Structure 1
Amino acid sequence: IAVDINVDFGNGDVRKGVTADMSLAGLLARIDASEKDRNKVISITMEDGTRLKGIVKAYSTLGTHIQFTEVDDAATQVILGLLKKTSEHDEKIAGLGTELAADLGRVLESGLRNQEFSEDDLFNTRYEPIPDTDPKQFMTPYIPFTDRNFTPLQEAMLNKDEHIVFAAGVDTNGYLPTHNKVYSQPQRPGEPAWNMGNCRNRRIFDDRAGLMAGRNTKPHLLQTYFRDMGDSVVFMKECDVPIMVNGKQWGNLRIGYKS
């Protein structure tokens, strides 16, 4: 659940932030805080004016963990409403993802049948580094095929819900061959920060979120994280759905979306 908040630490120290998760017990937020703020009593004002009181319990790479100490009836109803709305939206995204993952699997099966590439090409881990790329990009034998056949399907997904930011298939190692057009720009030499946000195809995303996505075996996996775009960090929700090829898992479809 992403909600803009103002957090009052007292003595005029008010900091802006955004929530990453929320329940009736507390929330996780991205705000300018650190370990020195642990155990501080705070007041929180949500973007709709709802007020809550809490205490800073911990600080981690995920954000600031806040435990509520006072939640009145009105605030309870607001939080329950947000949770319900979020759950319904997550279910919608999971349904869309299930359909697209099946389509991508069928596309890869057709490529194998038509000998566009071999099964070894598809499932091996021999990624060929592309010279002079930063962040490093890699080629595989099946990329010309996925560029032609994944692209229209993945681009269409962006128009199925206004909150969807990206939709792309990855293998079990987090390798993303063909991304959405907006994230598939040619790299700019000497500009790694720009490349990080705009040249995300041909990349191996082996961070925690990337590997959880690529190796997911559940019907769908929901996760939240902060997405490094080079010159900014963006809070992201994600739904990951397995991509099966002739009964064997190739990877997962990753759908990133805003809450």
Structure 2
Amino acid sequence: MIRKIKRNWFVPKDRELTEFDKRILRYQNRGKLVPTPHLIKNKEQIEGIRRSGVVNTGVLDLIEAEIHAGMSTAEIDKLVYDYTTSHGAIPAPLNYEGFPKSVCTSVNEVVCHGIPSEEEILEEGDIINVDVSTILDGFFSDASRMYIIGKTSPKKEKLVRVAKECLEIGARAIKPWGFIGNIGKAIQKHAHKNGFSVVRDLCGHGVGLEFHEDPEVVHYNDHHDGMLIVPGMVFTIEPMINMGTWEVFIDEEDGWTVVTDDELPSAQWEHTFLVTENGYEILTH
């Protein structure tokens, strides 16, 4: 988590202060965490991220059409790789810090970062998160969806639905000149109201020019404002909602797979958001 205040908005000496600069500096001078200038995307960068998001969405639409019981998660990985590369893009997870596949496939009690495998076969009643990230012409996008395999239990159905609602409620908390911390407060309130918990060890993040940028977007109430939200920022919201405890562990064998401590199911939805003057735009429809 970001705890220390960083005074990090700066203006080159040869440029006059704009009203935009002055507004950010007023927050900075009050001790608030504000974005660095490179976190504010220009029109060309936003358009590049938007194009990347179109490919990313196409991948998830393809998975939605193809996913079924009896399918291995390795087959999902192949679909993601083939679609992405055929559209002139690169799967961002592939070889990222040693991750061996093109997509994360997280089934039932796996919270995130599940590694596709020929041995992992989807069964009736499973719930699975497919997390897709795309690089197109150097621009990054990131989104995930939950898929229910056939018919599942009412508890799992509710978990998947509430996780999606948490994403939507978190999005509505994006207010230009508000604070990132309001997103997590809204998400936690809804999750707890429905009897679920929110993972605290992982968070959303800035994205666009790199896979992971500032700000950190926590999905629970950590009683901090977080970073100032400014038009032009691009970040993900990706709440991980658990049926039981919020606590998780990382599988020691592969060093990636995050699992709920009590091995009860988890669900997650994710979008990439652009902050606008009036609210936000989803870049990964």
Higher relative CO (Cα under 8 Å, sequence separation at least 6) belongs to 2
TM over 0.5: no
Q: TM-score, normalised by structure 2?
A: 0.24
Structure exhibiting the larger radius of gyration computed from Cα positions? 1
Q: TM-score, normalised by structure 1?
A: 0.26
Give 1 or 2: higher strand fraction.
1
